[in-house]
Structure 1
Amino acid sequence: MQDLLKLKEVLQSPQNVVITTHHKPDADALGSSLGLYNYLVKKGHHVTVVSPSDYASFLHWMKGNEKVMVFSENTKKQAEELVNKADVIFCLDFSNLSRIKQFGELVRNSSAKKVLIDHHRDPEQFADYASHDINSASTAQLVYKMIVSYGDKALIDKDIAECFYAGIMTDTGSFKHPNTNKEVHEIVAELIDLGANNSEVSRLIYDTNSLDRLKFLGFALSQRLTVYPEYHTAFFAISMKDLEKFKSRTGDTEGLVNYALSINGITMAALFTESEEGVKLSLRSIGDFQVNTLAAHYFEGGGHKNAAGGISHKSLKETVALFEDLIKEYSEQLKNKTPIETYV
């Protein structure tokens, strides 16, 4: 595996490029993908972004969104053709090909040069080139640094800068998380200098809600929030019927788990969302309590120390019951906000 400076040589001449990111992409996933897309198009490459699933409508403002191919049964053949013709495939904001579902096997079997740019733990060894840094606040930050290292900072215009800004802003929790270090602020300042309208990006992502979504939020807070103060834990359990009742769309549960984490005295928060595929989990924590270890050990997942996800193939009721048993088991660690990897 080689670093991205070696990749610069490959990108000196026009290439057929595919960019992909994880299932249900968030602002960092899509922002890093479309930021890179717009940069590579300027460099004369033929580029397509393939998302393994749909994504929230509050991300549709990013330049190039209308060109994104959403992988499905209807687009599978076209996606196969793109992958077969690709010279280079960028894999952004995920560390394992299983995170892009069925599209992952197409990528794995492709003869194209594969590039991994990511900040999640335990990367799968499938890439020819990589920039992998678990200390980076976001993937958008890593893509930005790659472009600068290539001497192409001048090619970053307002649209590209706003894609990267969105990724950094959201993956730092609006610059609140511990990963918001000096470098993050320096890069964000540079992006604003390059034209990013920080207040507008924030409004588009955080303050563009449908009436149904606001009603769902009120319902979730009043009817679906469970708090265990003795275990310093709070969680939401959302059923498919709940989602149907409020006509919920992809992205409508985004950020909900943070309301549980914001409760005074809470160390860990969870969101359980029932779907046809199983129960999706979003886990958050403060301090040294490592939810990525919990997610990996019990819920086929992973992520960062304070932000992770996973899935359960039990029913919603059974999944919640398992989680309630776990918080009793880890009660001392939750109380003291200490790491759990020692105890697993």
Structure 2
Amino acid sequence: MLDLASLTELLAQPQKIIITTHHKPDGDAMGSSLGLYNYLIQQGHHAKVITPTDYPEFLSWMPGNEEVIIYTENVEQSELLIAAADLIFCVDFNSLSRINEVGELVGKSEAYKVMIDHHLEPEDFDDYRHWNINACAAAQLVYDFIVNELKQPELINKDVATCLYTGIMTDSASFRLPNTTSEVHRIVADLIDAGAVNWRIHELVYNSASENRLRFLGHCLSNCLEVLPEFNTAIISVTKADLDKYDVNTGDTEGIVNYALSIASIRLAAFIVERNDKVKLSLRSKGEFPANEICKKYFNGGGHRNAAGGASTDSLQGVVSKLKLILPEYKKLLIQ
């Protein structure tokens, strides 16, 4: 294991560093990874971000994005870089299974591994851990790592600030979730002072949808939404045919579950979508309802209390039916 003094000593000299994050990266995954990347290159480190899969187009504007390597599109290059790395930063995930094939490469690597994450129950594959389940985003922890652990607040430049702001904004649902504390707002203020243009970031992330994406959203709300008032639950279920019809791309389903959660009295919302090889499930909840418990117990997943996900090899209708059968178990929490 590394202690902070040893890690600081390592980072005092240029290192070959890989930064990786979970598959199908979201705003926090890319924001925290690229924020860390833009910090490291200021010190002369040879840093690269490798993502296991592609990610939404609406995140491709962030500083440093042009240097990102997508593993599935650059397998040989990724393997060589990971094998040669001195340090590997594992950002916004805590299990090697979350990075697909990249997980095996990281597990075999002799590089020191640094985890920066806020999810429950981390695996013991890391040598140094900056971890806090109360953080609203991994990007918040990257900021804390740079400013409070490494004592280098002066290296939070405009590029770092822009990426970290994006991560915090997206993972806090635009600063609406309960873990958006006063400390988070102070961090965000610091990032704005460092050059993050908050209104512009919001425009680039939330107001850059394609026409197909908007029509797909309309279809989901008009034709795929089912409300179960007896359980204060709303479910949106989408078939593979729906995805094909609206030419749905990576990121186009992002945030749709929140529309179901926005209905008055709804405490649990589910977005269930049929993919090529499995059915994916995203849950969002309000208050103390444990969305992560349902995903972990019944759908091979996990996450946070109010935002969790899972997957199943059952049919789409099978997953919907299974979720409905589970709801009576949680009725007291759902109707309180």
Structure 2: how far apart are the matches of 1:277 and 1:187? Answer: 40
Aligned partner letter, 1:83: I
Partner of 1:301: 301
Residues 8-19 of structure 1 aligned to structure 2 (within 5 Å): 8-19=8-19
Question: Whole-Å Cα distance in 2 between the matches of residues 288 and 167 of structure 1?
Answer: 24
- How far residue 331 of structure 1 moved from its aligned partner, in angstroms, is 1.8
Query: What SS does the corresponding residue of 2:61 show, helix, strand or coil?
Result: coil
**Aligned amino acid, residue 288 of structure 2:** D
Cross-structure match for 2:244:
244
1:181 CA displacement? 0.5
Q: Which one-letter code corresponds to 2:200 in the other structure? A: E
Give deviations 1:139-161, integer Å, cap 9, x for gaps.
10111111113232222221210
Paired with 1:218 and 1:160, the residues of 2 have a C-alpha distance of: 35
Which residue in 2 is equivalent to 1:99? 98
Structure 1: which 5+ runs fail to align?
Answer: 337-344
Tell me whether 1:165 sits opposite 2:165 in the alignment.
Answer: yes
* In 2: Cα distance, 1:2 partner to 1:234 partner: 46
Matching residue of 1:340? none
Q: CA deviation at 1:317?
A: 0.9
Report the alpha carbon displacement of residue 212 of structure 1 after superposing the two structures with TM: 0.5
Match of 2:77 in 1: 78
Q: Work out the percentage of aligned pairs sharing the same amino acid.
A: 53
Whole-Å Cα distance in 2 between the matches of residues 287 and 14 of structure 1? Answer: 45
Helix, strand or coil for the counterpart of 1:50? Answer: strand
Number of the residue aligned with 1:339 = none
**Taking structure 1 as the reference length, what is the TM-score of the superposition?**
0.95
How far is the alpha carbon of 1:88 from its aligned partner?
Answer: 0.1
Q: Secondary structure at the match of 1:184?
A: helix
The one-letter amino acid paired with 2:78 is: A
Displacement of 1:53 after TM fit? 0.6
| 1:216-262 residue CA offsets vs partner (Å, 9 max, x unmatched) | 11111000001001111001101111011111100001000000001
1:94-129 residue CA offsets vs partner (Å, 9 max, x unmatched): 011100011101000100000000000000001001
Letter in 2 for 1:91: C
Equivalent residue letter for 2:42? K
Q: Provide the residue aligned with 1:253 in structure 2.
A: 253
Q: Deviations over 1:54-76 (max 9, x none)?
A: 0000000101111111111x522
Q: For 2:152 and 2:277, locate their aligned partners in 1 and report how far apart those are by CA, in whole Å.
A: 42
How many residues of Structure 1 are paired with residues of Structure 2 in the alignment? 335
Task: Find the aligned partners of 2:230 and 2:334 in 1 and give their Cα distance.
Answer: 10
Deviation at 1:170, TM superposition (A): 1.0
Q: What is the distance in 2 between the residues matched to 1:146 and 1:305? A: 24
Separation in structure 1 between the aligned mates of residue 123 and residue 277 of structure 2, nearest angstrom: 24
For 1:115, the aligned partner's letter is V
Match of 2:234 in 1: 234
Q: Which whole-Å CA distance do the structure 2 matches of 1:299 and 1:3 have between them? A: 36
Q: 1:293/1:4 Cα in 2 relative to 1: closer, same or farther (>3 Å)?
A: farther
CA contact (8 A) 1:52 1:101 kept: yes
**How far does residue 2 in structure 1 lie from its aligned partner after superposition?**
4.1
Please tell me whether the aligned partners of residues 83 and 110 of structure 1 are also in contact (alpha carbons under 8 angstroms). yes
Could you tell me whether the CA contact under 8 Å between 1:272 and 1:316 is conserved in 2?
Answer: yes
Letter in 2 for 1:86: A
Structure 2 CA distance for aligned equivalents of residues 3 and 123 of structure 1: 18
Distance (whole Å) between structure 2 residues aligned to residue 260 and residue 285 of structure 1: 10
Q: Distance in 2 between matches of 1:221 and 1:201?
A: 26
Would you say the 8 A contact 1:4–1:130 is kept in 2? Answer: no
Within 1, Cα distance between the matches of 2:136 and 2:110? 31
Normalised TM-score (structure 2): 0.98
- In the other structure, the counterpart of 1:289 is 289
1:45 is matched with 45
Aligned partner of 1:176 in structure 2 is 176
Q: Secondary structure at the match of 1:90?
A: strand
Compute the displacement of 1:277 (Å): 2.6
Residue 316 of structure 2 aligns with which residue?
Answer: 316
Corresponding position of 1:264: 264
What letter matches 1:201 in structure 2? I
2:143 equivalent to 1:144? yes
